């Protein structure tokens, strides 16, 4: 009987908890999260800074866009002005070339006009109502009408008209005259001007009075 007690005692001792150096660690403190109200205040402080940064970036982008738009608009306006000036120069050059060609053709026809006028002016009175006289008068009239349609006008050179070297070409001068003013004494060949610009000077005889 004593032996059984000893065995039971050992068995009980083997199942008893161990004590001594093995100690239980103290519990670690848990980190508590800030209350919701505090988190909201922190978010509110951070949000204006982010908003300011975003607004600043948008303002800079807007300024850059407006600057580029203004530069592009200026370039476009300059290109448009250059193109319009180019069109005007081309149109002006076309008109000038056309007028030069027309003037050259007219200058070649003016001697024919001179001949017709001279022939019409020398028709005897008794033949002015004849077919020849009326024919020459009709041709002369049509030539004058055609010249007017091209803005060609005869330069005034009636006797007594002041001599103008810009319009008249003095081929004869009456040296016996003693006056100080030069005037036309006689028209020798008709002169013509186009839109106020002489294309052929009038040949005249000049005297002084």
Best CA proximity match to 165, nearest among 157, 174, 177: 157
- Check: pTM over 0.75? Answer yes or no: no
Mean pLDDT along residues 173-200: 89
Instruction: Report the pLDDT value the prediction gives residue 74, as an integer from 0 to 100.
Output: 94
Hey, what's the torsion of the CAs at 160, 161, 162, 166, to 10 degrees? -140
Residue scoring higher pLDDT (7 or 179) = 179
Q: How far apart are the first and last CA of the chain?
A: 185
Instruction: Report the pLDDT value the prediction gives residue 24, as an integer from 0 to 100.
Output: 56
Lowest mean pLDDT among 6-20, 37-51, 122-136, 140-154: 6-20
> For the chain, which domains are there?
153-209 (2.30.22.10)
Mean pLDDT along residues 140-169: 93
Beta-carbon neighbour count of residue 102 at 10 Å?
15
CB-count exposure of residue 207 (10 Å: 0-12, 13-18, 19+): buried
Rg (CA), the chain: 58
């Amino acid at each position: 009987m004593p032996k059984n007690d000893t065995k039971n005692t050992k068995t009980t001792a083997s199942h008893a908890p161990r004590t001594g150096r093995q100690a239980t660690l103290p519990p670690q403190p848990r980190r508590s999260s800030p209350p919701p109200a505090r988190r909201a205040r922190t978010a509110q402080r951070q949000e204006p800074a982010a908003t300011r940064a975003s607004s600043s970036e948008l303002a800079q982008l807007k300024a850059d866009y407006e600057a580029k738009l203004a530069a592009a608009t200026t370039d476009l306006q300059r290109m448009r002005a250059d193109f319009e000036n180019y069109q005007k120069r081309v149109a002006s050059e076309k008109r000038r070339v056309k007028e030069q060609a027309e003037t050259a053709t007219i200058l070649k026809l003016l001697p024919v006009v001179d001949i017709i006028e001279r022939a019409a002016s020398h028709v005897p009175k008794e033949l002015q109502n004849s077919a020849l006289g009326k024919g020459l008068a009709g041709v002369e009239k049509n030539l004058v009408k055609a010249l007017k349609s091209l803005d060609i006008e005869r330069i005034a050179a009636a006797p007594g008209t002041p001599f103008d070297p810009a319009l008249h070409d003095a081929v004869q001068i009456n040296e016996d005259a003693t006056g100080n003013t030069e005037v036309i004494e006689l028209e020798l060949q008709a002169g013509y001007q186009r839109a106020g610009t002489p294309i052929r000077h009038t040949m005249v005889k000049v005297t002084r009075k």
